[in-house]
Amino acid sequence: MTWATTSDVITYTGINATAAQVEQAQGVIELFADVTEQASDDGLISEKNLRLLKQAVAYQAAWITQHPDAFTNVDLTSFNQDQVSGQLRHDNALILAPLAKRCIDRLSWRRNRGLRIQRRGGSGSIPARMNLTSAVADDNDPRWRPIGEVC
């Protein structure tokens, strides 16, 4: 079962989409979000991320109804026709709906996170007695064990 239904597409976009178009949208969103429906069935995705995935599928399904060539168009970075030119906002602008892209960008595993480095000696830090400048000294540390050795 997809993350969104045909009624979700109508609710979020006001556009009618077929079940087949929702399935197509699901496939595209799985590709760009780098997650599968199985992960949500297994309970591995938070409620917030499921909501964003549902919205992304709904927006993508509506977009597919207005772009019937979505699966057959040609990649390009800019175009010029009849004195009208344009440049695509992102690499996948001809494939991915703009609102679906925004939903995908907000998924927890797609966002940038700051790296917090603790002071030396704090919990989770490198022990003070470990030599940080010599790999040989690290090999002699009594806490190191060969791979596969049972402690």
pLDDT, one tens digit per residue, over 22-63 is 999 999 999 999 999 999 888 899 999 999 999 999 999 999
Closest CA to 59 of 13, 2, 107, 11: 13
Q: State pTM to two decimals.
A: 0.66
User: For 117-135, how does the pLDDT look when each residue is reduced to its tens digit (9 = 90+)?
Assistant: 666 555 555 555 655 666 6
Residue 41 belongs to some domain of the structure = yes
Closest CA to 89 of 104, 78, 73: 78
pLDDT of residue 73: 74
Per the structure, the complete domain to which residue 19 belongs is given by 6-110
Residue 23 belongs to some domain of the structure = yes
Residue 35 belongs to some domain of the structure = yes
* DSSP secondary structure letter of residue 108: G
Region of residue 77 (left: phi > 0; alpha: psi -120 to 50; beta: else): alpha
Residue 18 belongs to some domain of the structure = yes
Q: Quote the number of domains for the chain.
A: 1
- Cα–Cα distances in Å, from 81 out to 58, 76, 84, 92? 31, 13, 5, 20
Q: Which residue has 């480095």 as its token pair?
A: 117
pLDDT confidence bin for 108, thresholds 50/70/90: confident
pLDDT of residue 49: 93
